Structures are given as C-alpha cells and as structure tokens.
C-alpha cells in the first residue's frame, strides 16, 4: 500500500455485544475464558419433531433496556440486537456523537438471513388469518438492509450505510469494507459488525434437512459444538450481535479515545466450488489468508494466533486446518488456534464480529479462551487448538477467519496498537 492508504491507519476504539454468554463485553469475555458454554436446549419453539434440539440462544436480553415499547413491536429481534450492541459500542468508545462530523461516520453491518423469524410469522398470519392480519411492518422487519439503516436513523450517522450479506462471512465482509472505507478517506469512523437470529421453525427445518447441524449430543447440549474434535457432527446454531467502532488513528487520538487494537489488513476470495462444501484442501481459505497478510504487510511467521472459523463440520474443520498449513508451513505448528463457536455456537452472519471481539480481547489481555470439547484428537486436525483450558499468551498479531456457504472467504488481520508501527 502506498500514499494515503498508508497514512490512514485504522484502530478499534469501542465494542458492544449481545450474545448467548453475556450482553456486555466483560461478561462475554469472562465466560469465554472460563469456557462457560452458552449452548442449551432450544426454548423458542417446540423442537421435538426435529433431529437437532440444541442451540446457543441469547440469554438475559431485555429490549426495554435499549428501546421504547412501541419500537420493539416494529423490530425483528436481529434489529433489536444490533441497536443494543451499537449503543454499547458507542458508550464504550466514549464518542460524543454531537461533536462528530456525522457525514464522516458510516455503518456497514453484516447479516446472513435478516428477519426470517418475522417473515415466518407474517406468512403464518397471512395463511391462517388473512391478509389484513399481516403487520404493515412485516417487510421492514424482514429486509436485511435495515440492520444498518436503523442504526443511522437512531444515532444520526450519515456516511456510508449498507448491509453485507454473504452467509457466515457477512460480518467479516462488513468489517473488511469498513476498514477500506476509512483507508480510502471515505469515513473517519465506521460502526461495523453483524447481527443474526435464525432460530425459528422454518430456518431450523431447512438446516436440519441439510444435515449441517449437530444431532449426537441433544441430551448434553454443552458437548455438542466440537470444533476440530474427532466426534464432531455439525455446527450448533447461535444468535446475537456484535458491533465495533473502527476509527482513523489521528481522529481517535484527537479525541483521546482508548485504542484496543489496530486493523492491519483484510483478504477475500471465493471457492467457486460448492454451495456448502469448502474447496478441496481449503485453497480458497488459504488464498484469503495470504491476501490478508499481504495487505497487512505481515509475514506468516509474525502471526501468533488465529481465531478460526471452526464450525465443527466434518469437511470444514479439515479444510481450514489444511489451509493454515498451506499458508504458514512449519510455523503452523507454533500457532495457537481456537474456536469461539465451541462456546457461543455459530451465529451465522454475526459470527465474524462476535469472534473479532474475542480476538481483540486476546490482544488486550494476553489470554486465549479454550476450544471446548477437544476430547478426541482427529488425526486430520492436528494443530494446537487451545484444548479445553484458557491459556496465558501474549498476542501481537492475530488472524480472524470467516467462511460462508456459497464459498465466501474473509480473513482479517489485527494487531497490538504500536504508535510507530512500520507499515
């Protein structure tokens, strides 16, 4: 990178989260470190007809803490989650919105499915009670773009504003594009991340039919998400939202902001292979990591840690392991790798952002959370996945991987903020 792209550095100055293991950053992080699983039996609807009966549902979320009662009735849960997470990120960043040039503050949010829960409810109302019983807000509760649109309207942000939708890579695409928006001098600050709630009967039925979700541990839900373990049998669906404040460095310093970490680079690729299966040997994932390292100006041997995509699918975990070996060679054996999804499940389009929070906290605190349920080593997944116990480890440079159905691959590089970093 040359010229203005080098001069405009991007740092993270605030974070907010709504999750299965905590609705504030510190609770979320404490529960990750201690390996307190957020996975339990589904409570949102009767799962007795389905082969999968476990999920990681958001717990303890009270919409009235963030929204007026009238608003709540007009918002899908994924919209409620993202507005709450944004409010927490703004508070955490200590930004004074009234003092910002709001034309220079943008919002890019990822969601894979949008308001599928509200869409299902609208269809049921139409079929069972007639068209006059469909809410006038049904479309607005369903369409993905309003996850970003509502943030701009609520807080007055008037810059770049849209939603990225690339299945499980959505939040990471949103963060990557937010990084480049600041680099290109199109914004000074971006509120970015992801949100999702697809835990509803129609979404559940489809994922069950695709045989993508775990079925073997219905009687012991915390055991069901087993990334890189030989007994893994599919992912566990999660939900929630995470929003991060990305900010141009000089802008952040001028207002005395706390800096959590620096975003160093991003890489994207497509498998062009299959709608659900990864490309052979993880070549698409490897390319995304290679491009991310190149854009960050980071050598493979400088990386300390990878927050993996790590979904606990049979093919996906092997492909990601192979991709890491391709990119890092012998250094792969020295890398610490964990899977946040072993604790929070897989929140689909929100996953990358919720994992980015964990990655940033690892840099800040010098701790890595465990990958739960690493009980039976898989010979094809033979790297260091931080099994079962948290680990004290300094992290200067980390990668966060996200791969989505449709063959979408995103890798973000983040590092400890160093004022004199040579880019």
Of 346, 369, 381, 411, which is the active-site residue?
Answer: 346
What is the per-residue pLDDT for 421? 74
Of 78, 173, 251, 309, which is the active-site residue?
Answer: 309
CATH, range 12-254? 3.40.47.10
What is the per-residue pLDDT for 420? 85
SS (H, E, C) the chain: CCCHHHHCCEEEEEEEEEECCECCHHHHHHHHHCCCCCCEECCCCCCCCCCCCEEECCCCCCHHHCCCHHHHHCCCHHHHHHHHHHHHHHHHHCCCHHHCCHHHEEEEEECCCCCHHHHHHHHHHHHHHCHHHCCCCHHHHHCCCHHHHHHHHHHCCCCCEEEECECECHHHHHHHHHHHHHHCCCCCEEEEEEEECCCCHHHHHHHHHCCCECCCCCCCHHHCCCCCECCCCCECEECEEEEEEEEEHHHHHHCCCCCCEEEEEEEEEECCCCCCCCCHHHHHHHHHHHHHHHHHCCCHHHCCEEECCCCCCHHHHHHHHHHHHHHHHHHHHHCEEECCHHHHCECHHHHHHHHHHHHHHHHHHCEECCECCCCCEECCECCECCECCCEECCCCEEEEEEEECCCEEEEEEEECCCCCCCC
**pLDDT by 10s per residue, the chain, length 423:** 444 565 899 999 999 999 999 999 999 999 999 999 999 999 999 999 999 999 999 999 999 999 999 999 999 999 999 999 999 999 999 999 999 999 999 999 999 999 999 999 999 999 999 999 999 999 999 999 999 999 999 999 999 999 999 999 999 999 999 999 999 999 999 999 999 999 999 999 999 999 999 999 999 999 999 999 999 999 999 999 999 999 999 999 999 999 999 999 999 999 999 999 999 899 999 999 999 999 999 999 999 999 999 999 999 999 999 999 999 999 999 999 999 999 999 999 999 999 999 999 999 999 999 999 999 999 999 999 999 999 999 999 999 999 999 999 999 999 999 998 765
Of 168, 200, 208, 381, which is the active-site residue?
Answer: 168
What is the per-residue pLDDT for 3? 46
411 in catalytic set = no
pTM passes above 0.85? yes
274 in catalytic set = no
309 in catalytic set = yes
The ranges of the chain annotated as CATH 3.40.47.10 are 12-254, 265-415
CATH, range 265-415? 3.40.47.10
What is the per-residue pLDDT for 423? 57
């Amino acid at each position: 990178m040359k010229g203005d792209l080098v001069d405009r550095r991007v740092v993270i100055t605030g974070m907010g989260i709504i999750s299965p293991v905590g609705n504030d950053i510190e609770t979320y992080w404490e529960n990750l470190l201690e390996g307190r699983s957020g996975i339990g039996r589904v409570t949102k609807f009767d799962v007795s007809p389905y082969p999968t009966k476990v999920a990681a549902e958001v717990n303890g979320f009270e919409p009235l803490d963030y929204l007026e009662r009238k608003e709540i009735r007009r918002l899908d849960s994924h919209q409620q989650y993202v507005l709450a997470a944004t409010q927490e990120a703004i508070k955490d960043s200590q930004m004074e919105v009234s003092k910002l040039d709001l034309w220079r503050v943008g919002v890019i949010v990822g969601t894979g499915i949008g308001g599928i829960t509200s869409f299902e409810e609208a269809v049921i109302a139409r079929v069972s009670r007639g068209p006059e019983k469909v809410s006038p807000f049904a479309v607005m509760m369903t369409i993905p773009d309003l996850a970003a649109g509502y943030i701009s309207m609520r807080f007055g942000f008037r810059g770049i504003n849209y939603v990225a939708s690339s299945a499980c890579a959505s939040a990471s695409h949103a963060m990557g594009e937010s990084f480049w928006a600041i680099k290109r001098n199109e914004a000074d600050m971006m509120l970015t991340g992801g949100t999702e709630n697809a835990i509803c009967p129609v979404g559940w039925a489809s994922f069950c039919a695709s045989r993508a979700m775990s079925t073997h541990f219905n009687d012991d839900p915390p055991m069901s998400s087993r990334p890189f373990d030989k007994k893994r049998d599919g992912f566990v669906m999660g939900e929630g939202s995470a929003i991060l404040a990305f900010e141009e460095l000089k802008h952040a310093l001028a207002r005395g902001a706390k800096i959590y970490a620096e975003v160093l680079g991003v890489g994207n690729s497509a498998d062009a292979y299959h709608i659900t299966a990864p490309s052979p040997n993880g070549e698409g994932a490897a390319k995304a990591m290679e491009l991310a390292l190149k854009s960050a100006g980071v050598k493979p041997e400088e990386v300390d840690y990878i927050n993996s995509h790590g979904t606990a699918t049979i093919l996906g975990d092997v492909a990601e392991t192979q991709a890491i070996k391709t990119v890092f060679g012998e250094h792969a054996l020295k890398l610490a790798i964990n899977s946040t999804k072993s604790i929070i499940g897989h929140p689909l389009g929100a996953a990358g952002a919720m994992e980015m929070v964990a990655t940033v906290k690892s840099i800040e605190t010098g701790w890595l959370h465990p990958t739960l349920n690493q009980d039976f080593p898989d010979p094809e997944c033979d790297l260091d996945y931080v099994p079962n116990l948290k680990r004290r480890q300094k992290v200067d440079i980390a990668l966060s991987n996200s791969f989505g159905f449709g063959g979408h691959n995103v890798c973000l590089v983040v590092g400890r903020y160093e004022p004199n970093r040579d880019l």
